[in-house]
Chain A
Amino acid sequence: MNQVYYFTAISGIVMDYQNMTDEALVKLTLKNPEMFYHLMQRYEQKLLRYIRYFSSIDEQSAEDVVQETFLNAYKSLNSFDPDMKFSSWIYRIARNETVDFLRKNLNKKKVISLESNNENDLQLIDLLKSDVDVLKDVKTAEMKNKVRAIISAMPKEYKEVLILRYMEEKGYNEIGDILQKPSGTVAILISRAKSYFKDVAIKYGLDLLI
């Protein structure tokens, strides 16, 4: 078994961080700040990916945003309420930090072209294919470009819910907690985003299953 376990003795008890829930680690962090390192490690790559998908900012900027996210999360750790998932909480902070970053850098050329964010959009295309029932096959370069263009041109709120639902695999309630919207609204947004995708795909002349 290649799984790596982290063991530390706190108050004479041997702790297995790998199998601990995020919420348990938060409690431990409030007693011992070093525990926060394990939480950050769990979310570092996830948040980097999410921020890049969501905002299409360059890698360096995304790293800066993740650092700010972790620092803010640590400082406001006491505001975390176990009534929601830790992952939803930290994604919310990451989202707010990203929006803040985008607002501050609106006129600076730190945001890269959406079309150049190939890997991210292609992954979303693959995930959408399985759910949207629109595309027979997206294999040719031309089709990929068309689908990528559709996703890039999507209203931000649609793109955001699709990313959270299909790439981050969040449930409606979790997305609601991240976006601070009722889960019913999230369901409507996802449905509209998929309809939008279908409609635009038809306009682009993509092969349909219908």
Chain B
Amino acid sequence: MVDLSKKVFEKIKKDHLTPTSAWHYVLPNVLKWIWIVVVVIMAAVSTALILWEFQLNDVDMNRLAADDFWEFMYFNVPYLWVVLLIIFGGLAHLIYKYTKFGYRHCRWTVFTVLGGFIVLFGITLCVSELAEPVDSVLRENFSMYDDIEVEESQRWDMPSKGILVGSVTAVNDKIIVLERLNEEEWIVDISEVKGDREEKLMVGAFLRILGNQTGDYLFKASKIALWKRVFGGSRQES
């Protein structure tokens, strides 16, 4: 019988073979873990923004404004962040499976642990009030993100259908002056609006208003909700 060990050993000596450097193996694994940390943070930020948008969401108002179920869902679900959460969560899962011992855990264990961590981290970010600054930074630095938000707001800006969106420029007990996205100023009668009004009726607040158009640049509000943000200065200047 051939002594394979001897044969291989002689080849190693003859060809001066040496083991590949440890870094060659360590580095890719370290990079994978860095990627996992990055995408988990991104997924947690997405979760925080979803929760933050839900906090500002007014389901009743959305129900009144939506024409059908799909539009109602569109108003309620922060789809951009849901999609990003799925992408980042999926990426974290995928990269983990390709780490050194990633194969040792079954799909559902990895899904549950990573998902649980992302949700907890996301809740922490949201509770720490970090979601809104992140949203502002994204709006200021990524025009595409801002455009999506504007487009979403524009769906609400239809006075003839009884929905109005804009920022408050002046306020008193009975009326507010609202600057719409197209920079038109509207007088809104808020005398019949009930509930907590203090936070909503501040100069600079960005509002969604349900009601009826009563004339040119005149609107009578029945319900008011805060929109998730005030548009940035650059857009207002334009």
Which A residues are closer than 8 A to B by beta carbons?
29-30, 33-34, 36-37, 40-41, 44, 48, 63, 66-67, 70-71, 74-79, 81, 83-84, 176-177, 180-185
Query: How many residues on chain B are close to A (CB under 8 Å)?
Result: 25
Cα distance A44–B8 when bound, in Å? 11
A78 x B21 contact (CB < 8 A) = yes
With A81-B100, A176-B104, A182-B104 already in contact, the answer to whether A74 and B19 are too (CB < 8 A) is: yes
With A44-B4, A71-B17, A184-B106 already in contact, the answer to whether A78 and B25 are too (CB < 8 A) is: yes
Q: B19 is contacted by which of A41, A76, A182, A183 (Cβ under 8 Å)? A: A76
With A37-B9, A71-B17, A78-B24 already in contact, the answer to whether A182 and B100 are too (CB < 8 A) is: no
A78 x B22 contact (CB < 8 A) = yes
Chain B residues with Cβ below 8 Å from A84 are 101
Q: B9 is contacted by which of A36, A76, A81, A183 (Cβ under 8 Å)? A: A36
**B145 close to chain A: CB less than 8 A:** no
Cα distance A37–B109 when bound, in Å? 40
A-B contacts besides A67-B4, A75-B18, A75-B19, 17 pairs, CB < 8 Å: A33-B12, A33-B18, A34-B9, A40-B9, A44-B5, A70-B8, A71-B12, A71-B17, A74-B12, A74-B17, A78-B21, A79-B24, A81-B101, A83-B101, A176-B104, A181-B103, A182-B103
Nearest neighbor of A177 in chain B, beta-carbon distance: B104
Min Cβ gap B191→A in Å is: 65
Q: Which 3 A-B pairs have the closest CB atoms?
A: A40-B5, A78-B22, A79-B25
Min Cβ gap A182→B in Å is: 4
